[in-house]
């Protein structure tokens, strides 16, 4: 009996046909397969999120109420558990979820939400746009400092040439195994972003850059007319995220609640993430016409919303591992915690 063709087989064939594949395109294919099959999210799955805690859902319900917005758009709504909880509280809000996964959209619809595959299916209007652990799944380009790098992170020389940066691509060795291939990165947009954030990789240092941030945030901001944007995830501001001592980037794979760094194993069967660059998020939101309310720890945000659940607010647990970014359209009041 013939063995079924797997995603790994398809990617090997593509690489042999077209040459090494840029890492973000490999990651995109892996995550499309992973989320397309409807990953198990929760204690028995590959990962859980704070939504599993009733106290977290209480806090977000209070945030929805305090925002005064008649509509909530939740980006990457997972199992739909938050949608079900908030819709069951009688707040009178329309609840729309956005998820590329057909399997997850089915669960969100079962929870009572209007589930769509893309924000392009939603018209602008008074909205609270909310996302919990959605940014970390944006596809990452793995940028590497090159041998000939002239410009340090604190240099006043803003010049940069194609030889100064390398980029991880995915190749296939003679045994059919996926391997890293370093190729020049001549992309002016990558260099421009690094200059704007005043960071630059040292020789051999890896930066995991989610270059889709700008378009993602611009589209989220389009929906909030007027409204708010609140995003919760793990990451840091650029200066800390790309500090000289962080040599190997932040990319990680997750399976059965275990973290690993072998994203070439179990292709399409594990989650792959990178830490969020909050500097890039704020810059993108401000370019889209929003005002930054602040970047705070999850602990501070939830405490301002009346939540003192130890697992969620304890600095030794999830309290400071996650941050919350808030933005508003000009003229709206602030939100609790920011």
Calculate what percentage of the chain has a pLDDT beyond 70.
Answer: 88
Q: At residue 314, does pLDDT exceed 60?
A: no
- Kindly report the CA angle at 80 between 262 and 130, in degrees rounded to 5? 85
Q: Are residues 252 and 149 in the same domain?
A: yes
Per-residue tokens: 14? 């593509």
Q: Which residue has the higher pLDDT, 254 or 284?
A: 284
Helix, strand, coil in percent for the chain, rounding step 5: 35, 25, 40
Within a domain: residue 157? yes
3-state secondary structure of 317: coil
Q: Are residues 70 and 21 in the same domain?
A: no
Within a domain: residue 226? yes
Q: Which sign does the torsion angle of CA 103, 108, 109, 113 carry?
A: negative
Within a domain: residue 23? yes
Q: Are residues 102 and 64 in the same domain?
A: yes
Q: What is the mean pLDDT of the chain?
A: 90
Which range among 128-132, 160-164, 254-258 shows the weakest confidence by mean pLDDT? 160-164
Residue 317 has a pLDDT of: 52
Q: Are residues 76 and 217 in the same domain?
A: yes
Which range of residues forms the domain containing residue 21?
A: 1-36+141-208+241-274
Q: At residue 45, does pLDDT exceed 80?
A: no
Task: Say how many domains are in the chain.
Answer: 2
C-alpha–C-alpha distance, residues 129 and 337, integer Å: 16
**What CATH number corresponds to the domain at position 219?**
3.40.50.12710
Within a domain: residue 103? yes
Residue 151 has a pLDDT of: 45
Residue range 33-44: mean pLDDT, rounded: 71
Q: Are residues 100 and 181 in the same domain?
A: no
Within a domain: residue 338? no
Residue range 298-327: mean pLDDT, rounded: 78
- Biggest CA–CA distance in the chain, Å, is 66
Q: At residue 162, does pLDDT exceed 50?
A: no
Within a domain: residue 44? no
For residue 101, give every residue at least 6 positions away whose Cβ sits within 8 Å of its Cβ, in sequence order, or none.
Answer: 35, 36, 38
Residue range 219-224: mean pLDDT, rounded: 98
Which range among 42-51, 117-126, 148-157 shows the weakest confidence by mean pLDDT? 148-157
Q: Are residues 181 and 123 in the same domain?
A: no
Residue range 180-202: mean pLDDT, rounded: 95
User: Is 239:280 a contact under the CB 8 Å cutoff?
Assistant: no
Say how far residue 71 (Cα) sits from the centre of its chain: 22
User: Is 192:283 a contact under the CB 8 Å cutoff?
Assistant: no
Q: Are residues 160 and 197 in the same domain?
A: yes
Q: Are residues 221 and 249 in the same domain?
A: no
Residue 99 has a pLDDT of: 93
Q: Are residues 149 and 260 in the same domain?
A: yes
Q: Are residues 224 and 106 in the same domain?
A: yes
Q: At residue 153, does pLDDT exceed 70?
A: no
DSSP-assigned letters across all residues of 244-260 = TT--B-S-EEEETTEEE
Within a domain: residue 122? yes
Q: At residue 320, does pLDDT exceed 70?
A: no
Q: Are residues 121 and 264 in the same domain?
A: no
Going through the chain in order, the beta strands assigned E by DSSP cover 21-22, 71-75, 94-98, 114-116, 125-132, 141-145, 165-172, 178-184, 206-209, 224-233, 235-236, 252-255, 258-260, 271-273, 276-277, 291-297, 323-328
Residue range 274-298: mean pLDDT, rounded: 97
Which range among 37-41, 120-124, 159-163, 164-168 shows the weakest confidence by mean pLDDT? 159-163
Residue range 156-162: mean pLDDT, rounded: 41
C-alpha–C-alpha distance, residues 182 and 95, integer Å: 44
User: Is 14:21 a contact under the CB 8 Å cutoff?
Assistant: yes
C-alpha–C-alpha distance, residues 148 and 161, integer Å: 10
Which pTM does this prediction carry? Answer: 0.90
């Amino acid at each position: 009996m013939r063995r079924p063709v797997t995603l790994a087989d398809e990617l090997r064939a593509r690489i042999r046909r077209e040459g090494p594949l840029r890492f973000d395109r490999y990651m995109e294919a892996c995550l499309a397969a992973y989320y397309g099959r409807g990953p198990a999210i929760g204690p028995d799955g590959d990962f859980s999120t704070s939504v599993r805690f009733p106290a977290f859902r209480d806090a977000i319900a209070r945030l929805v109420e305090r925002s005064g917005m008649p509509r909530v758009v939740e980006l990457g709504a997972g199992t739909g558990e938050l949608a079900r909880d908030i819709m069951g509280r009688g707040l009178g809000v329309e609840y729309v979820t956005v998820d590329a996964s057909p399997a997850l959209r089915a669960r969100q619809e079962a929870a009572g939400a209007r589930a769509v595959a893309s924000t392009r299916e939603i018209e602008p209007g008074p909205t609270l746009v909310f996302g919990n652990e959605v940014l970390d799944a944006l596809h990452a380009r793995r940028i590497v400092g090159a041998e000939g790098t002239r410009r340090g992170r604190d240099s006043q020389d803003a010049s940069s040439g194609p030889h100064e940066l390398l980029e991880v691509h995915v190749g296939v060795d003679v045994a059919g195994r996926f391997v890293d291939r370093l190729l020049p990165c001549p992309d002016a947009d990558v260099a421009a972003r690094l200059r704007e954030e005043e960071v630059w990789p040292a020789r051999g240092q890896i930066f995991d850059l989610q270059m889709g941030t700008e378009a993602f945030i611009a589209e989220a901001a389009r929906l909030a007319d007027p409204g708010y944007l609140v995003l919760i995830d793990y990451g840091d501001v650029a200066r800390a995220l790309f500090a000289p001592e962080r040599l190997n980037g932040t990319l990680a794979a997750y399976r059965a609640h275990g973290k690993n760094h072998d994203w070439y194993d179990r292709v399409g069967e594990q989650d792959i993430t990178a830490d969020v660059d909050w500097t890039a998020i704020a810059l993108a939101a401000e370019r889209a016409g929003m005002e930054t309310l602040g970047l705070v720890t999850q602990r501070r945000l939830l405490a301002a919303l009346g939540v003192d659940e130890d697992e969620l607010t304890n600095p030794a647990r999830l309290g400071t591992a996650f941050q919350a970014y808030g933005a508003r359209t000009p003229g709206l009041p602030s939100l609790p915690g920011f």
